[in-house]
Copies of this chain bind each other. A is one copy, B any other.
């Protein structure tokens, strides 16, 4: 993995010259000294999915508290305007230094003077927006995509409801945590009286990389994670596995994707007492280089038969799952210690896919039953969201087609 020094610039340049389907529109992101590392907000797809992974995450799940459809729509319009401003490195509204100083500033100000830091804000809607407790809250029930299922309960799941679900989500990724935290905070503030944060998660460390040339980062177990992930310029695989196509429908989701988030706690102390041989058997890779069993280099084609039947890499491989492939975009987390002095740490797993039923669900069904890694991990949070296509222009907003 590249260190801090040069990585930001290198990835920034890659993003600017990259092949992402984003389309710069309008002149709201006028050139300035500070916008060199901005990721375009407008485009066919939302940024933050195939965008080369940034260093930090602040993910927030919201409960919608208003029952008024018009108020919800207004919130989404205000969020979209704020997101376009913040990703371009600007402040929300009139900024932190408003003309009328007898009013609270529109922007909370802690990102003043910071660069855009490749901030992306990716928006999704959860099952509860379409129907909750049997109620069609916003007249959207008939528009729920079939692919937006309620996730089944998997073996060994130990989900905390307070860390699961949500009506709306925003995934904020940036190379500067203060920029990511600032974005979620200001969106939460805008939402006041209409939606409130249900849970949020900070993450760090690029545990999976969508940047082909960067070295694969290591997870909290010390292993390289995400070696065979889908990269941002692989449009064939993105179209096949990630973006909702015209045939998939519904229309308002074409160009979008489905997001599964899982908070996966690692039993760090147990893992740390496990022999190197056992650790390598569990993953099916060697720890140093990350090479598959019997191979020399990380990116060598894995020989699945050479691995133990319950090795993680073998079980997660498309060949063991009828070709199932997802785009992973997870981050490591460390949320202090639990009451027993154990590190509350692990992987905040985020996956994007064209259809959850052909992606995460069969994959996790297989892994939850058979993966040797299960002895050392536990899924403690879970959520699924439909992520609409990108905001096309200034007249467009998050979810506009859904409410049309």
A336 near B: Cβ within 8 Å?
A: yes
A1 to chain B minimum Cβ distance, whole angstroms, is: 6
Given the contacts A110-B219, A110-B221, A198-B341, A189 and B272 also touching, CB distance less than 8 Å? yes
Q: Please tell me which stretch of A101-109, A312-320, A349-357 contacts chain B, meaning at least 4 of its Cβ atoms lie within 8 angstroms of it.
A: A101-109
Which residues of B lie under 8 Å from residue A285 when comparing CB positions?
A: none
Return the contact of A98 from the options B7, B181, B276 (Cβ within 8 A): B276
Query: By the criterion CB–CB under 8 Å, are A1 and B104 in contact?
Result: no
Most buried by B among A103, A112, A276: A276
CA distance A113 to B269 in the complex (A): 22
Which residues of B lie under 8 Å from residue A48 when comparing CB positions?
A: none
Which residues of B lie under 8 Å from residue A97 when comparing CB positions?
A: 276, 287-288
Which residues of B lie under 8 Å from residue A198 when comparing CB positions?
A: 341
Which residues of B lie under 8 Å from residue A275 when comparing CB positions?
A: 101-104
A273 near B: Cβ within 8 Å?
A: yes
Return the contact of A108 from the options B37, B176, B222 (Cβ within 8 A): B222
With an 8 Å Cβ cutoff, the count of chain A residues facing the other chain is 79
Given the contacts A4-B117, A4-B175, A222-B109, A334 and B37 also touching, CB distance less than 8 Å? no
Query: By the criterion CB–CB under 8 Å, are A202 and B334 in contact?
Result: yes
A114 near B: Cβ within 8 Å?
A: yes
A280 near B: Cβ within 8 Å?
A: yes
Given the contacts A3-B176, A275-B103, A276-B98, A337 and B200 also touching, CB distance less than 8 Å? yes
Query: By the criterion CB–CB under 8 Å, are A103 and B218 in contact?
Result: no
A277 near B: Cβ within 8 Å?
A: yes
Q: 4 closest pairs, A vs B, by CB?
A: A109-B222, A4-B8, A3-B115, A5-B8
A-B contact pairs, 12 of them (CB 8 A): A1-B113, A4-B7, A101-B276, A104-B272, A104-B273, A105-B276, A105-B279, A113-B218, A178-B205, A185-B268, A188-B343, A198-B341
Q: Which residues of A contact B (CB under 8 A)?
A: 1, 3-9, 12, 37, 55, 58, 96-98, 100-105, 107-115, 117, 162, 175-178, 181, 185, 188-189, 192, 196-202, 204-205, 215, 217-223, 268-269, 272-277, 279-280, 287-288, 332, 334-337, 339, 341, 343, 345
